[in-house]
Chain A
Amino acid sequence: MKLPPNVSEADFTAALKEFANIVGDQWLFTSDEDLDLYRDSYSILWGEADERTASAAVAPDNADEVVALVKVANKYRIPIYPISTGKNLGYGGAAPAWPGSVVFDLKRMNRIVEIDERNAYVVVEPGVSYFDLYDYIQEKGLKLSIDCPSPGWGSLMGNALDGGVGVTLASYRSHFDAQCGIEVVLPNGRMMRTGMGAMPGAKTWQQFKPGFGPRIDGLFKQSNYGVVTKMGLWLMPSPENYATGVVTVPKFHDIIPLVDIIGRLEQSKIVQGLWSLSSPTTGTAAFAAHSGASSMPTDPKILAILNSPDGVDMNKLDVAANEAGIPFWAANFNLYGPKKFIEAQWDCIRDALGEIPGARSKLNQIRRLPLPPEELAKMRDLGPLGIPTLRTFDLGPMISYDGEDVVGHIFFSPVIPRTGEAAIEAMDAFAAIVRKYKLPCPPLQFPTAIFERAFLFAVGLPVTRSPVVNAKVREIIRELVAMAAARGWGEYRTAPAFYELIMDTYSYNDHALRDCLNAIKDAIDPNGIMSPGRYAIWPRHLRDANG
């Protein structure tokens, strides 16, 4: 039997017995075969002494069982680690942040508690996946649409709590910002509701986010202050129509006015759908690291410049692209709504970006939604249409690294300023690292506009089953994080192996933020049972033990 740290065998045995009494023997897992499923398939520490593995797992059916389980854990001081569906691969999966914790597997709790078409919201339990909600909406014929991340098997609630993002309209893409109301079991086993939900019988829990007094919902994002058992999320009314449009600009440095102008359009809510950068010159598609959808250009001059072992000289590339008549950048837009609205949006986009010399624009056919199934089957990326898929899991071009099979990826996810200058700087900096370590990633990767006012420069790095190669990748990530921090770029999310590394970069005024989070931890979870170490928030006894 694997014991949680600092827990006696007698206490652990007693706690497991009480857990089983609450959920039933069949929902308590202690065998190696069962616990194997709670390993993070993408762990960068796979098979090493520091790999985060569980001592047991328990799967409650409802919130009352969660309350009872938490009380038992608190009594015996058993570290617990709640997961929703445990599918956030690349960011920890189902594995606990603190080795030896008992995983609270909440995927049996998959009820859609309430869905309101009139006010466009849903209340879900942790086990409801994007697939579940999509299927439910289709089956019921509701005029609602969801915003999903590229892997659709994840939990709506889990993704929101982890700071996950989607790809439709700005108001819905940041999933935690789209939540409205949380039910949470605190570490002492007391259940609490946030916002208007704190009022018994409240009629507006999912309609008014601020509630009364401080808005504390944010305390439950990327943290360890409770087990969230219900969450309200705002949904998008199904758009009548959908269209894509593209604006190309000829020169590499046109990215600077391009980003500025689109930024103004976004701030004015004229551009609301996710737009993405691609390059007809380099053949790089948006989200190249994940999709593998890039295609190499055929122009021999351009190819020679792109394949230079010293890196890509953008000035030479500019000249070659100009000679070949190929624009350097393409901004790809997703537009939603009534036909008149899409046309009006496009007129504004075309006129504004038309100020860039050489800009060309094209609005593709405005399509009535939903699209026919046979057409959807041919489309690689259905996320912009609010349809979940798992197509992102082909790992794109990453097959092997340093002679080892690539089995997954781990993200380096800095947030960079929403400017063309920062985009160029990030592309250069990352391309240099790709060359230096011969990483199996596209050398040119572009920032994404998923966040409303900043760029995300997410890069997937290879994970193997070789401790030697994984150690090398960990060092590369350390180098990337240091490089980013030196430029003022911080990560928005990371895998458990790097919680401390990233938190250390948020060090303003001698780590005032970390100290505040730890002080809250001590107040709300004095026994330190709830997800110790998640996002580098530690209970006092482990801070003391670890210095």
Chain B
Amino acid sequence: MITRRTAVGAGLAFTALAGTAGVSVYGWDAPRNAGAIDALLIDESMAMPRSLAALIGASPRAVPIVGITLDAAGHARLARVLDSSHAIAGISSGATLFCLERIAWDHGFRLTGRSEQSACDPSDGACRQELAAFLAGAYPSAASPSPLVRAYRPSRADGTLHAWVMQKSGRPQFRQSRWEA
């Protein structure tokens, strides 16, 4: 399981992350006027997001990384992140994004940014360049998302990776911890 890291510094700074294998990922700078990302969610059901998380996790300037699995443990973990966050980013399959988006709705979040990328090997140079662009496409934005942001194939078998951002919209939160009458 990917370890949740403590946030160091405010805002996003994935620039020039140096992993232990000497691999760098460039490009995911938050715009000055954008809000900070509270956590990066990584789909643990796919190999590439896991290796990407390892790269990001090796940086001393990383935001908290939360591994997402579509089971009871993952659901509980996700609920805690959603309760305590205002903006989250993630890298996942379309199938996982589909589930996360709907769960996040009930916590007042809306999908505000998304880009997609065919899976590739992150140790490969060309792939790293693509990843830079891939991550650059995901940051908090005050602008209304285009309909295309929300139109994606909710599949895992297609091998597509999605980078995305969700933000609390100010809408009411349906899901609040309240089990006992």
Contact = CB atoms under 8 A, between A and B. Distances in A.
Contact of B181 (A26, A34, A112): A112
A107 B171 contact: no
A135 B72 CA distance: 7
Interface residues of B, number: 31
A26 B170 CA distance: 10
Interface stretch (A161-169, A206-214, A381-389): A381-389
A111 interface: yes
A245 B105 CA distance: 41
Interface in B147-177: 151, 153-158, 171-172, 174-175
Interface of B: 1, 69-73, 75-76, 93, 95, 98-99, 102-103, 105-106, 151, 153-158, 171-172, 174-175, 178-181
A407 B153 contact: yes
B153 A373 contact: no
Contacts of B178: 110-111
A128 B95 CA distance: 23
Contacts of B102: 41, 87, 153
A26 B72 contact: no
Interface residues of A, number: 48
A88 B12 CA distance: 37
Contacts of B70: 389-391, 393
Contacts of B75: 131, 135, 152-153, 388, 390
Q: A-B pairs with the 4 shortest C-beta distances? A: A394-B156, A390-B70, A394-B95, A389-B71
A377 interface: yes
Contacts of A251: none
B155 A389 contact: no
Interface of A: 26-27, 34, 37, 41, 59, 87, 105, 107-108, 110-114, 125, 127-128, 131-132, 134-136, 138, 152-153, 292, 373, 376-377, 382, 387-391, 393-399, 405-408, 465
Contacts of B71: 376-377, 382, 387-391
Contacts of B95: 393-395
Given A391-B71, A394-B156, A465-B151, 7 more contacts: A41-B98, A112-B179, A138-B72, A153-B102, A387-B72, A395-B155, A407-B154
B106 A393 contact: no
Given A27-B172, A107-B106, A112-B181, A399 B155 contact: yes
Nearest to A113: B181
Contact of A136 (B69, B153, B179): B179
6 contacts: A112-B180, A376-B73, A389-B72, A399-B155, A407-B154, A408-B154
